[in-house]
Chains A and B, each alone.
Chain A
Amino acid sequence: FLICVAIRANYPLYIRSVPTQGELKFHYTVHTSLDVVEEKISGVGKALADQRELYLGLLYPTEDYKVYGYVTNSKVKFVIVVDSSNTSLRDNEIRSMFRKLHNSFTDVMCNPFYNPGDPIQSKAFDSIVSTMMVQAC
């Protein structure tokens, strides 16, 4: 399983999961993980406001999934949920996936026709996520 979400102001701009069944469960998982993300941001923010590590690491492990988080400087959050049994994905891979997502998201934001706050419908973004999902699974 792998889910990618881009979140801004705590509502999702983009959410996609493979496989698609049981999507609601993932919604719950990601939604609750935002608590941790917020906590982490506020915690780190005090110490190092400028030079913050964007990658938040493992947000919390559940029995079945690992939830990773990433926050851009403009407080856009990315969350990736992977299957716990998937051992091929190490921290470094997740990190690079986030970086890719971030780059692609930046491209989306650069689109003058994109209205910030709207759901992302960019095909380019979609395809990046797709390739990542294929690689991961």
Chain B
Amino acid sequence: MQRLGDFRLPPFFNYPPYFTLQPVRETREKQVQLWKDLILEYCRSQKIHTISLEEDFPLFSNPKIERSLSHEAKEVFLAALVSEGRAEWMDKGHKRCLILWLRIQDWANLIINFVKDNGLEVMTIEEIRSGIDTRGTELEGIERSVLMRALRQLEQKGKAAIFKGTSADDEGVKFSV
């Protein structure tokens, strides 16, 4: 089985026609589904939060079979993710895409559970993103904008309160579990 780093690639990745947008509806639906799942899984395993359509993304080409996705194909697959809430365009020109391999709701739940399990009450934003407590968990390295949105969701539910410290670095959150 082929790997991209330590990521195992699915069999369809080695089948050339999957790199060409299929014209027949049923076949296209299958193709889109496969690519959507692959993008999400890959990004989750590599903790990649954004994909830029103007840069090379290792998942979008397979040198072994000498095939690459066209720009149109990339857009189609990412747009499909966007329409099911698993991604968001970061710009009007659809050049950068935020990949939500966990939905904001899922991140919120993850954070609350983490906080409960570890008996934490107050954390700074930076601690959540890169502190000792979150090392090795999925929270490590979380995209700042994603984290803030998840926290705001928790705030709305009364489970957290975001506060600013003495400097921008001290932005933190108090959890009420």
- A, B bound: no
Interface residues of A (CB under 8 A from B): none
